Amino acid sequence: MVEPVLDIRNLTVVFDTPAGTLHAVNDLSYTLMPGETLGIVGESGSGKSVHVLTMLGLLPCPPARIVSGEVLFRGRDLLALSERELCDIRGAEIGMVFQDPMSSLNPVLTIGRQLREVIQRHAGLDHAQASARAVELLGLVGIPDPAARLAQYPHQLSGGMRQRVMIAIGLACDPTLLIADEATTALDVTVQAQVIDLIRDLKNRLGTTIIWITHDMGVVAELADTIQVMYAGRIMERGPIAPVFHQPRSAYSWSLLRSLPSMARHRRLYQIPGSPPNMIHPPPGDPFAPRNPFATPRCHRDVPPLRQVADSVPGHQVAAWYDLPAAVAAHPEIADA
Ligand SMILES: Nc1ncnc2c1ncn2[C@@H]1O[C@H](COP(=O)(O)OP(=O)(O)OP(=O)(O)O)[C@@H](O)[C@H]1O
Ligand SMILES: [Mg+2]
């Protein structure tokens, strides 16, 4: 049997703030299989970044506190490792690309030096071998004339080129898992499209397992095999791209899709009523219930578990007490508003 690359089990993370305990990640569980690309979406504050920072050991504790859970990466619990052991895994077995290359790249070091540092720290190559590998990586991410770039500083590159350098650093040690958090958000649409093509090409050639976090459902549709929709530190829906996009089962995914110009077709764009939940005093039941026009009394009372959708493909899961297709059909005035 194929083992998952990543197996997150019941992860709960809070922040101790002056105003009270903020519930950032709530009993989160999911697995990721080798070669799978997982796209994670969800509005600001849904726990996307906090859960990946937790598993990478990059969360500041305090104010953060890991209440419970395990994060098994190739069978080892990352949460039980020492800082030194985690440091060996970060950048080697797990590559990372975050938003804003200007603050992630060191402005006073050349591109070549920064790439060589990552390569040499993990791969044990000498200077010449590391330089050759750096040129190879810059070529891989589509940077023209890569050998000449090694001597350049970050400010001499365009934003798109810097983001490619960040991706090259993320890929420097042939990671088993690449985690990208808003990696293309700061780029203009043309460059973003190029980076997406690049990642798609890389995953086809290298078989890298990828977690791609974004606000952009379009990017997820292009890149990912599986989509995971998060809200209030929980998974609301998860499954293969096609069934989730064509027949979402969570009112939250439905709302996100209906607020996309390309998906709303001739209908008016849907606006999600209300505001995001207060995570210090979250609502008692389904966290989306106060904003969900299809919510039932039970939604306001009990948190629904994530379960397989009975009449969809295997792996299509939803956390909901209502049956969305039936609810939408029964309330055309909401669906067509
Ligand atoms: N250092 C911190 N101190 C207190 N609360 C924090 C801290 N960092 C994050 N949070 C809270 O944790 C929750 C989850 O935040 P997270 O950064 O994971 O959201 P996100 O889904 O990545 O959002 P975005 O799309 O804006 O990046 C939010 O309520 C946020 O306010
Ligand atoms: Mg984030």
pLDDT tens by residue, 171-216: 888 889 999 998 877 677 777 787 788 888 878 888 899 999 998 8
Quick one: average pLDDT of 28-54? 95
Judge if 210 and 302 occupy the same domain: no
pLDDT of 153 > 60? The answer is yes
pLDDT at residue 265 in the model: 61
Judge if 86 and 219 occupy the same domain: yes
Judge if 207 and 294 occupy the same domain: no
Atom of ligand 1 nearest to the CA of 215: 25
Any residues with Cβ below 6 Å from ligand 1, and which?
15, 17, 22, 24, 42, 44-50, 63, 279
Taking each helix axis from N to C terminus, what angle separates 127-140 and 159-171, rounded to the nearest 10 degrees?
A: 120
Listed residues 192, 224, 256: the one ending a domain: 224
214 Cα–ligand 2 center, Å: 8
Judge if 134 and 101 occupy the same domain: yes
Asked whether the beta carbons of 157 and 184 are under 8 A apart, the reply is no
166 assigned to some structural domain? yes
Q: Classify residue 34 as exposed, middle or buried by CB count within 10 Å of its CB (0-12, 13-18, 19+).
A: middle
**H or E segment and range at residue 26:** strand 20-32
DSSP for 224-262 reads -SEEEEEETTEEEEEEEHHHHHHS--SHHHHHHHHTSHH
pLDDT of 298 > 80? The answer is yes
Judge if 56 and 130 occupy the same domain: yes
pLDDT at residue 88 in the model: 86
Judge if 215 and 275 occupy the same domain: no
Residue with the bigger pLDDT between 308 and 57: it is 308
pLDDT at residue 71 in the model: 97
pLDDT at residue 80 in the model: 95
Q: What is the mean pLDDT of the chain?
A: 90
Quick one: average pLDDT of 137-144? 86
pLDDT of 37 > 60? The answer is yes
Confidence at 125, pLDDT banded by 50, 70, 90: confident
Judge if 119 and 184 occupy the same domain: yes
Residue with CA at minimum distance from ligand 1 atom 5: 15
pLDDT tens by residue, 233-268: 999 999 999 999 999 999 999 999 988 776 656 667
Listed residues 156, 190, 224: the one ending a domain: 224
pLDDT of 321 > 80? The answer is yes
Q: For a pLDDT cut of 70, what percent of the chain falls above it?
A: 96
185 Cα–ligand 2 center, Å: 11
pLDDT of 106 > 80? The answer is yes
Atom of ligand 1 nearest to the CA of 47: 18
Domain hosting residue 299, numbered range: 248-335
303 Cα–ligand 1 center, Å: 21
pLDDT at residue 263 in the model: 62
Task: Give the bridge partners for 239, in sequence order.
Answer: 227
Number of domains the chain is built from:
2
Ligand found nearest the CA of 51: 1
281 assigned to some structural domain? yes
319 assigned to some structural domain? yes
Judge if 161 and 105 occupy the same domain: yes
27 assigned to some structural domain? no
Judge if 90 and 172 occupy the same domain: yes
230 assigned to some structural domain? no
Confidence at 100, pLDDT banded by 50, 70, 90: low
Judge if 317 and 217 occupy the same domain: no
Judge if 211 and 316 occupy the same domain: no
**H or E segment and range at residue 88:** helix 83-89
Judge if 198 and 49 occupy the same domain: yes
